[in-house]
């Protein structure tokens, strides 16, 4: 008689491992965007009709009273 009680555990382990491998492959295949590249403070569109256009400038708010915070 074969031991069937471990079958479900082995199947779920295999499915989870395959799922993690797929997620890892997708994560490694994605391309990073170049934010703050070439001196800009936003994202530059690289392809399409708006090529070279800067989208969404990023701003940093500074506290004018830095000496009072210290």
Q: What is the DSSP string of 14-59?
A: HHHHHHHHHHHHHHHHPPPP-BTGGG-SSEEP-SSTTTT-EE----
Q: What are the sequence ranges of the domains in the chain? A: 1-30, 32-70
The mean pLDDT of 21-26, rounded to a whole number, is: 94
Q: Which of 10-19, 20-29, 48-57 has the lowest mean pLDDT?
A: 48-57
- Going by C-alpha positions, the residue among 47, 23, 12 that lies closest to residue 33 is 47
Model confidence at 15: pLDDT above 90: yes
């Amino acid at each position: 008689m074969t031991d069937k009680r471990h079958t479900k555990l082995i199947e779920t382990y295999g499915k989870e491992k395959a799922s993690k491998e797929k997620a890892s492959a997708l994560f490694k295949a994605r391309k990073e965007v170049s934010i703050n590249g070439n001196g800009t403070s936003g994202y530059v569109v690289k392809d399409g009709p708006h090529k070279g256009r800067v989208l969404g400038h990023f701003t940093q708010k500074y506290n004018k009273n830095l000496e009072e915070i210290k």
